[in-house]
Chain A
Amino acid sequence: GENVEQHPSTLSVQEGDSAVIKCTYSDSASNYFPWYKQELGKRPQLIIDIRSNVGEKKDQRIAVTLNKTAKHFSLHITETQPEDSAVYFCAASKSRGSQGNLIFGKGTKLSVKP
């Protein structure tokens, strides 16, 4: 089955710096890759996603890139702010047909120091 590896497990940056989180997946049939942000004690929140027919997607300070050949995708956060501090999860899914369960990475704890 699908396996998603996520690195690093912790990341500390200064406010204003950029942060990059990387994930690799094993199943070449996966075609949907969302990123979730989870603050302590809260629900995972979908912040951005990308499908396999797209190489890059941006939404304000957040961008995601996908390399299908290498089977990895990355989250880029620019101009980080203290409120970006949270645990970020990547996931992969074979989002077609009648099944769409997400396989998650182990998470990256991002700390943004003011």
Chain B
Amino acid sequence: DSGVTQTPKHLITATGQRVTLRCSPRSGDLSVYWYQQSLDQGLQFLIQYYNGEERAKGNILERFSAQQFPDLHSELNLSSLELGDSALYFCASSVTSGGAEQFFGPGTRLTVL
């Protein structure tokens, strides 16, 4: 157990819908990173927050957004869902903003039907 928690574990929804994925970092970690894992694209970085502020953006679609709250938990919002959005979504946390020693949560498996 890495200490990073994610909810829900599984999510099944329909195309066009909107979902919210939640992540709580390890105690003391200020950085949260979101990654998408699909069979054809591997692990892809989406976005990073550090102490409530956005710090880095990867290939995140405009339909996706995220935020980090004062208690440091983070939410990833996915809207206008498409079949291709089906994937495992992981969050990771680290103490610093520099990215070393990132510990991953158990992931949320999103299935879009």
A→B interface (CB under 8 Å): 32, 34, 36, 42-46, 49, 51, 89, 91, 93-107
Residues A100 and B97 in contact in the complex (CB < 8 Å), given A43-B90, A44-B43, A45-B2: yes
Contact (Cβ within 8 A) A97 B107: no
Tell me whether B102 and A102 are in contact (CB under 8 A): yes
Decide if A44 touches B104 in the complex (CB within 8 Å): yes
Known: A44-B43, A93-B99, A99-B98. 10 other contacts (CB 8 A): A46-B103, A93-B100, A95-B99, A95-B100, A98-B97, A100-B31, A100-B56, A101-B45, A101-B48, A107-B42
Interface residues of B (CB under 8 A from A): 2, 31, 33, 35, 42-45, 48, 50, 55-56, 58, 90, 94, 96-107
Closest B residue to A44 using CB positions: B104
Interface residues of B, dominant DSSP? strand
Decide: A43 and B45 in contact? CB cutoff 8 A: no
Chain A residue with Cβ nearest B33? A101
B residues within 8 A CB of A93? 99-100
Number of residue pairs A-B, CB distance < 8 angstroms: 80
Tell me the bound Cα distance from A106 to B38 in angstroms.
11
Q: Do residues A46 and B102 form an inter-chain contact, with CB atoms below 8 A?
A: yes
Give the distance in Å from the alpha carbon of A103 to the alpha carbon of B100 in the complex: 12
C-alpha gap A45/B58 in the complex (Å): 21
Q: What residue in chain A is nearest B2 (Cβ atoms)?
A: A43
Q: Which residues on B sit within 8 Å (CB–CB) of A91? A: 43
A95 and B102 alpha carbons, distance in the complex (Å): 11
Q: Closest CB of chain B to A87's CB: distance in Å?
A: 10
Given contacts A43-B104, A89-B43, contact A100 B90 (CB under 8 A): no
Query: Cβ of B43: which chain A residues have Cβ within 8 Å of it?
Result: 44, 89, 91, 102, 104, 107
Shortest distance in angstroms between B66's beta carbon and chain A's nearest beta carbon? 13
Top 9 nearest A-B pairs (CB, nearest first) are A100-B99, A99-B56, A104-B43, A101-B45, A43-B104, A100-B98, A95-B98, A98-B97, A95-B99
Chain B positions within 8 Å of A94 at CB level: 99
Closest residue of chain A to B96 (Cβ to Cβ) is A100
Sample 15 A-B pairs with CB under 8 A, ordered by A number: A34-B100, A42-B106, A43-B104, A43-B107, A44-B90, A49-B100, A89-B42, A95-B99, A98-B55, A99-B56, A100-B94, A102-B99, A102-B102, A105-B42, A107-B43
